[in-house]
Structure 1
């Protein structure tokens, strides 16, 4: 089989981090299904990028990034109808599935669906989500989205599926959800296995453990792949060193690099091949937060200690609860890996403080994207907050690429 023609559907696609890895590994997307409108626009923009890349016409894409072309004109001139229709802005479940199946059938034509990839929203499984909900998320309907995922498996009978989610899935409801999920997938005709790799093993400069459950048709010549770990370690400073210094609230959407590319950036192709970068924008902060950030930065850089809320001067405290979420102000470690990137970065940035006393602020959109291993030419539609949310929810493309590459070697 020509591996260039291996096809897939991406469910709960988000901004397309998982899909980016599969496309870069030579797979062909038939459809992406995602409920968030801004994420769908991001997916569409990225699909046009890949189309122009194949046509050796990336100059048109760069013009869009440089704001020389309106998005509507860019999509109209350089996309096509089938490409745009392949991004389905629909929630999965209920009667919507009939509409989704019909549209995917039209898009696939005579092509089989070789894989289904994706991971339902993780809030119902996450430890933080359960801690914040009075019922521990037991009544959350998202607990059972794996059954909706399974409907696509039954309908398209792919050779392989990839189901990515947070580690809390294993412990949710004392492990019953995960046990039931595995049994359900087996019941509909799939063998399966899972591992809990750390994104850092694949070159992502982030401590991010996730469940990667892979299923394959019973009686097929397939087994769970063994992933190759990146042996050399780099640091966050290798990832961020070439980006322009920013002040809080600085909104220059297009900036030039301040330094040449690093070994890390070159190895993993995170620079976009041109001399500008987009979305290196920082959110504004009030004076109180900036003072707290400075304390947190100095404490981490000088003593390698995290700031705890009770340690703040009383004048900087805003509530009396000193027992819950005391580590909400966290500096990204410049001499190691970042802590896990999550969607909450869209809210306030307190958990992702830039590690420099001369740049007291939280991470920019581009810095967060790099920590998730998105290349600099990956553009997130919908504004700053939406971009942060999309980035935090994403599967790191470098991690996805390794998964896709190993699967492509095993599919018969």
Structure 2
């Protein structure tokens, strides 16, 4: 470990944290903007201890608490489950409410994905101001959450941190937000880098691009590393084009903080497919579901399978979240009209093709019933079968999964509309279920979501895929273990001199 360059308080806190790790204790994580807990789940699997979280959405906060702190007594569990507004909760208050100990020594790793829109219009000067004055964010009327995040970094002084966000932060408002975050972290005593990583290269059955920033305290002397790919393929043209747009300022400016992601090579396996992720879950006929609230109280057994795939095994056997027999949140939206179109859509088809398919079905029915086009009776058949949306607007709003390919990015609007992920099985003719969305996001089957169907879909779409978080967490865990091992002899010699 390099010589401590911080204040005496920083030096003591870092030494105490490294001493804990050198004894083999698990690094302690605080998850800010935690949502349901995708990052927490990946870090826990990698050997970290999830000590607390901060989340403003009540259902997501409850989900996180029940899954990570359900063993606690009633009062403390309630404290973990309480929704919190980060702009109104000071770090010291959070530590006291969650009973985490002293502020300076309570957190080893800080993780989270703060929203970026307001931040992106602030710029470097404001960031430097916040780095020097942790309350400076309060003068910004937009209540900027990235600036607030830096306040928490300054207060907790973690050994390491992880920030996740959408690719737009690389070119938002004509500047590279991630690069500016790196600069702000350096002012706070960290070495930091960022990368644009697609989750499909790391065992997630989903093509999901996100920016990840990793930082370590400078005193640790650790270089920043990002995980090696475990799978390889060529991204579809649309994704490749989107990545090129996202990276335009990175490439143009030669950004010092950017690290290109590892994409592997043809020696690696093809990414996990929709079939790999979903085929062992019980079938649901889209035509069988009626309107009404969806509860998670009906248990559904897995399909019998003589050759269960590796991904499905991982989802069933995740340590601490095992599910041996089946699932209880395998529920879908009512589909009074569109199941007929879903059944005949081609895998990979989008909305224009869905509309054309609906017209074919309507004409077939009209012909069978002796109804001529242009009549009121024909218009009624069309109304019953054909989706009514303009084919020139949002053509990719509908999409039928390809069984042999990873799926497209799951978004938060799953809470309102799952038509972006129509099941590939024509016989079932439906959109994906809550549990299938969780599978595609790599949440294990034993992980429970609070609330009803719509809040659960939203929590899943907002989350970082746990397996993507696990890939990053594994590297961070290795690095911190190495730093603690290096620091232990130094600390021992210091104690001998004293």
User: How much has 1:210 moved relative to structure 2?
Assistant: 0.9
Deviations, residues 69-89 of structure 1 (Å, cap 9, x unaligned): xxxxxxxxx645434423441
2:42 matches 1:21 = yes
Separation in 2 of the partners of 1:227 and 1:182? 19
Give the structure 2 partner of residue 400 of structure 1.
469
Give the structure 2 partner of residue 276 of structure 1.
326
User: How much has 1:355 moved relative to structure 2?
Assistant: 0.6
Q: How many residues matched?
A: 362
- Say which SS state the counterpart of residue 390 (structure 1) adopts: helix
Task: Please say if residues 30 and 104 of structure 1, whose CA atoms lie closer than 8 Å, have aligned partners that are also in contact.
Answer: no
Deviations, residues 261-280 of structure 1 (Å, cap 9, x unaligned): 62223552435342121101
User: How much has 1:376 moved relative to structure 2?
Assistant: 0.5
For structure 2, which runs of at least 5 residues remain unmatched after alignment?
A: 1-21, 121-139, 231-267, 360-378, 484-498
Deviations, residues 226-281 of structure 1 (Å, cap 9, x unaligned): 31322323321122111111123376731111223622235524353421211011
- Say which SS state the counterpart of residue 205 (structure 1) adopts: coil
Task: Please say if residues 3 and 408 of structure 1, whose CA atoms lie closer than 8 Å, have aligned partners that are also in contact.
Answer: no
Counterparts of residues 75-90 of structure 1 (less than 5 Å): 79-90=73-84
Task: Please say if residues 31 and 88 of structure 1, whose CA atoms lie closer than 8 Å, have aligned partners that are also in contact.
Answer: no
Separation in 1 of the partners of 2:228 and 2:221? 21
2:123 matches 1:102 = no
2:79 matches 1:9 = no
Separation in 1 of the partners of 2:118 and 2:310? 35
For structure 1, which runs of at least 5 residues remain unmatched after alignment?
A: 52-77, 127-138
Counterparts of residues 111-122 of structure 1 (less than 5 Å): 111-121=105-115
- Say which SS state the counterpart of residue 89 (structure 2) adopts: helix
2:411 matches 1:374 = no
Task: Please say if residues 373 and 397 of structure 1, whose CA atoms lie closer than 8 Å, have aligned partners that are also in contact.
Answer: yes
Deviations, residues 100-144 of structure 1 (Å, cap 9, x unaligned): 532314622154311100001367799xxxxxxxxxxxx9947x3
Deviations, residues 2-25 of structure 1 (Å, cap 9, x unaligned): 454311210000000100111122
User: How much has 1:334 moved relative to structure 2?
Assistant: 0.9
Q: Kindly tell me: are residues 310 and 358 of structure 1, through their superposed partners in 2, closer, same or farther at Cα, counting changes over 3 Å?
A: closer
Task: Please say if residues 355 and 391 of structure 2, whose CA atoms lie closer than 8 Å, have aligned partners that are also in contact.
Answer: no
- Say which SS state the counterpart of residue 184 (structure 2) adopts: helix
Task: Please say if residues 254 and 278 of structure 1, whose CA atoms lie closer than 8 Å, have aligned partners that are also in contact.
Answer: yes
Deviations, residues 178-212 of structure 1 (Å, cap 9, x unaligned): 34333222222222101111111221111111111
Separation in 2 of the partners of 1:276 and 1:407? 33
Separation in 2 of the partners of 1:177 and 1:405? 26
Task: Please say if residues 29 and 50 of structure 2, whose CA atoms lie closer than 8 Å, have aligned partners that are also in contact.
Answer: yes
Separation in 1 of the partners of 2:83 and 2:455? 16
Deviations, residues 343-372 of structure 1 (Å, cap 9, x unaligned): 111112111101111111100000000000
- Say which SS state the counterpart of residue 286 (structure 1) adopts: coil
Give the structure-2-normalised TM-score.
0.67
Counterparts of residues 139-218 of structure 1 (less than 5 Å): 141=142, 144-218=144-218
Separation in 1 of the partners of 2:460 and 2:280? 20
Q: Which moved more, 1:222-231 or 1:381-390?
A: 222-231
- Say which SS state the counterpart of residue 171 (structure 2) adopts: helix
- Say which SS state the counterpart of residue 308 (structure 1) adopts: helix
2:416 to 347, 350, 366: 347
- Say which SS state the counterpart of residue 214 (structure 2) adopts: strand
- Say which SS state the counterpart of residue 268 (structure 1) adopts: helix
Give the structure 2 partner of residue 306 of structure 1.
350
Point out the structure with max Rg over C-alpha.
2
Separation in 2 of the partners of 1:309 and 1:91? 44
- Say which SS state the counterpart of residue 225 (structure 2) adopts: coil
Give the structure-1-normalised TM-score.
0.80
Separation in 2 of the partners of 1:264 and 1:280? 21
Task: Please say if residues 47 and 83 of structure 1, whose CA atoms lie closer than 8 Å, have aligned partners that are also in contact.
Answer: no
- Say which SS state the counterpart of residue 92 (structure 2) adopts: helix
Give the structure 2 partner of residue 133 of structure 1.
none
2:51 matches 1:30 = yes
1:258 to 299, 303, 308: 303
Separation in 1 of the partners of 2:187 and 2:455? 38
RMSD after superposition: 2.6
Task: Please say if residues 31 and 40 of structure 2, whose CA atoms lie closer than 8 Å, have aligned partners that are also in contact.
Answer: yes
- Say which SS state the counterpart of residue 173 (structure 2) adopts: helix
Separation in 1 of the partners of 2:119 and 2:199? 19
- Say which SS state the counterpart of residue 108 (structure 1) adopts: coil
1:335 to 404, 418, 421: 404
Separation in 1 of the partners of 2:202 and 2:73? 32
Separation in 1 of the partners of 2:457 and 2:355? 29
Give the structure 1 partner of residue 343 of structure 2.
294
Q: Kindly tell me: are residues 125 and 238 of structure 1, through their superposed partners in 2, closer, same or farther at Cα, counting changes over 3 Å?
A: farther
